[in-house]
Amino acid sequence: MTIIYIAADYVDALVKHAKQLGAGESMTEVLTGLVPWPVASVAIQSLTAKDHSIFAGLTFGLTLGITCHGLLGYAAKNAKTALDAILLDEQYLAMRTNAIRFRVVGYQDRVSLFVDSVLSVETPDWQFLHLTVIGSLARMYSDLYPNRILTATFTTPIPVAVTSKYKSPLLTGITWQEEAGVFRVDVQMNVLLSALSSSDETLNNLLVGQCKAATSVAHTLDEAVVMVRNILRNHLADPPSMSQLSQQMNLSERTFKRHLQKSGTSYREILAEVRTEAAIHYLQHTTLNVDEIAFRLGYSSTPTFRNLFRQWTGKTPKEIRLSSNV
């Protein structure tokens, strides 16, 4: 049975958005990593109980800045063009969720992006999720090209008489169309091909490598590996040993090690990947200094962290931070 999952920070964003509207007061932030879809569904229900608008998902999507998408967002930010960013989303979206899929179809003069969900059309989350994705795409374009407004056609099952009434500064260039059961974005090719001022090929290659590794883990949906990653993410300052992890999972250390090997990884590799992800997040998304980051990642020596970080990424912490303008 396939587990439908979503990145926990999307759920955190939902909870924060709901609280801003006066809903979800009792809800708290969830653990980092990937969480089962029902966790997101509870947050969506809390939000829509307060915001009864058919456009609750669209409004939420427009709040999701490009860095809300984790490593994938940073990779998109450092891509060559918006088209390259969209293709990254299509290829590596599974590292963030498998509840939705992108299909990018290129024509001579335009690009069509189909948004397909594995959720049943009968579930209350279905329309919310699709509209969230469409809104986040408009926001992503605005973040990639700060002085531009996306010019595109948004096709949804919602009557044009309804969608045309939705107002947002980010959607002034949008033409709405109606088609049963379809969520699609059509954009002229030339709108997506301008070079991004934030593009950094070296950093993009590094981040794409991280996305590839994270997507590989998500695709296998090996619950043991996902569990190990989540445990380590939340205990980086004092990570449990291989022996302690195996005890938590009711396995002998030998069996646990063999299980990880069959999944194509190891305790040391998972810990390095999780530390790399966390280090990049801290450097690009906070103002913590390198000593504080090293401490949070479980290093007693900042020089050791600096050396390992360069081995992992090919860049120094300072170079990563400068690329994010934090």
Contact (CB, 8 A) for 170 and 62: yes
Beta bridge partners of 197: none
Q: Is the pLDDT of residue 112 over 90?
A: yes
Class of the CATH domain delimited by 5-192: alpha beta
Pairing of strands 152-156, 184-188: antiparallel
Say if domain 222-324 classifies as CATH 1.10.10.10: no
The single residue listed with the structure tokens 């299980």 is 259
Q: pLDDT digit string (tens) for 229-271?
A: 778 888 888 999 999 888 877 778 888 888 787 766 788 888 8
- Across the chain, where does the E strand assignment appear? 5-7, 34-36, 100-106, 110-117, 152-156, 174-178, 184-188
* pLDDT of amino acid 31: 54
DSSP assignment letter at 19: H
Instruction: Give the integer Cα–Cα distance in Å for 137 and 150.
Output: 9
Q: Is the pLDDT of residue 126 over 70?
A: yes
Q: Is the pLDDT of residue 54 over 70?
A: yes
Collapsing DSSP to helix, strand or coil, 116 comes out as strand
Residues 6+ apart with CB under 8 A from 167: none
Compute φ and ψ for 208, nearest 5 degrees: -65, -40
Q: pLDDT digit string (tens) for 129-148?
A: 999 999 999 999 999 999 89
How do the domains of the chain map onto residue ranges? 5-192, 222-324
* pLDDT of amino acid 1: 37
Instruction: Give the integer Cα–Cα distance in Å for 30 and 14.
Output: 11
Tokens at residue 220, please? 């296998």
